[in-house]
Chain A
Amino acid sequence: MDINVEKELSEQLRQSDTRRAAFNRLVKEMSQPLYWQIRKMVLSHDSANDVLQNTFIKVWEHLDQFKGEARLSTWMYRIAINETYAFLNKERTESLADFTDLEDVMVQRLYSDPWFSGDDTARKLQEAVLSLPEKQRLVFNMKYYDDMKYEEMSEILGTSVGALKASYHHAVKKIEAYVTADVF
């Protein structure tokens, strides 16, 4: 979203008479980038849809708390990431109760997901990404797929640029090791 549009929307969201229209525009502008960020973490479309809805509900409910110190999109990314973590934690608790590993469950879901059309290589890569810890997975997705700048990632995740670079480097090494281990 363009920074000028963000500023304009931030202003409109603070005023009660323009808030509703501005929020509708916000949904239109931000639903796609947030959806893909969430989908890369939860993988299934249905789960991504649920988390995205929860994200926008949280945004609507906490609009008064947005002071404009950070960019509107950054604030929304943070909410989306928190909602994603909350969703994954809930799923993890449920899978623990069934004595199963969440990552295994997610891989199985990916194989049977009608909204996934990747080939074996793509599946293998997704399995490798799923083997990463959640935070590292998020860093990898943001850098590798979205080519996001480290400074922007730092604002969203509240982690230093140096730590993010190291995290991405380790993630790439782990994924390479995972993929090549199976090939040879």
Chain B
Amino acid sequence: MKENLKSEDYMEMFKVPDHFFEDFQQQMEKRIDDMQAASVMENVRGAQIPFFQKVRPYLYMAAMFVVIFLVIQGIVRRQPGENPSVAQTEVGDFYEEINDAQITAEDILMSSLDGYGLMYYLYEDNYNDAE
């Protein structure tokens, strides 16, 4: 097997385009030139960036943290369970507004009626009126 195929024979079977290696060298030189030019441009751009532009992302980030902190603080302060005196005052005010003397027997009757009872109560009234 070894006598039949060697490196030269391999190159006979697997062709390459004409002048490929010469063109390849030029292609590589151009690519390296482009890479070097891009690298130089990047360095120049990096040196030209003003101080504020360089620190701007960090300033934005710091501002964002401050806003988040303030929002969280605001939410925590508004929690009702955290300030019982406010809740008690509100409940106290509600009960103070109701005067026991003003409650009539009909109010008590109406508050104790459920849906069925209410219908029965109205029906009975109508029936009595008809009578």
Contacts and interface: CB of A to CB of B under 8 A. Distances in A.
A53 B31 contact: yes
Interface of A: 20, 23-24, 27-28, 31-32, 35-36, 39-40, 43, 45, 49, 52-53, 56-57, 60, 115-118, 122, 125, 144-147, 172, 175-176
> Chain B binding site: helix, strand, loop or mixed by DSSP?
helix
Given A23-B32, A122-B13, A176-B1, A147 B7 contact: yes
B28 A27 contact: yes
A53 B28 contact: yes
Nearest to A26: B28
Given A24-B29, A35-B16, A43-B14, 18 more contacts: A27-B29, A31-B21, A31-B28, A32-B21, A36-B7, A36-B11, A39-B14, A53-B24, A56-B28, A57-B31, A115-B17, A116-B13, A122-B5, A144-B2, A144-B5, A145-B7, A175-B1, A176-B1
Interface residues of B, number: 23
Contacts of B1: 172, 175-176
A125 B35 contact: no
Nearest to A32: B21
A31 B24 contact: yes
B25 interface: yes
Contacts of A115: 14-17
Contacts, number: 67
> Which 4 residue pairs of A and B lie closest in terms of their CB atoms, listed nearest first?
A118-B13, A115-B15, A145-B7, A27-B28
Q: Which of B12, B25, B35 has the most CB of A within 10 A?
A: B25
A144 B5 CA distance: 8
Given A115-B15, A122-B13, A27 B7 contact: no
Which of B7, B12, B14, B25 gathers the greatest number of chain A CB atoms within 10 Å? Answer: B14
Contact of B21 (A35, A117, A146): A35
5 contacts: A20-B32, A24-B25, A45-B17, A52-B24, A176-B1
Contact of A116 (B14, B24, B28): B14
A23 B36 CA distance: 13
Contact of B14 (A28, A45, A125): A45
A136 to B, nearest CB: 16
Contact of B7 (A20, A57, A60, A146): A146
B13 A60 contact: no
Contact of B16 (A45, A56, A60, A146): A45
A184 to B, nearest CB: 16
A53 B12 CA distance: 23
Contact of B10 (A20, A28, A52, A145): A145
Given A115-B17, A116-B13, A147-B6, A60 B25 contact: no
Contacts of A146: 7
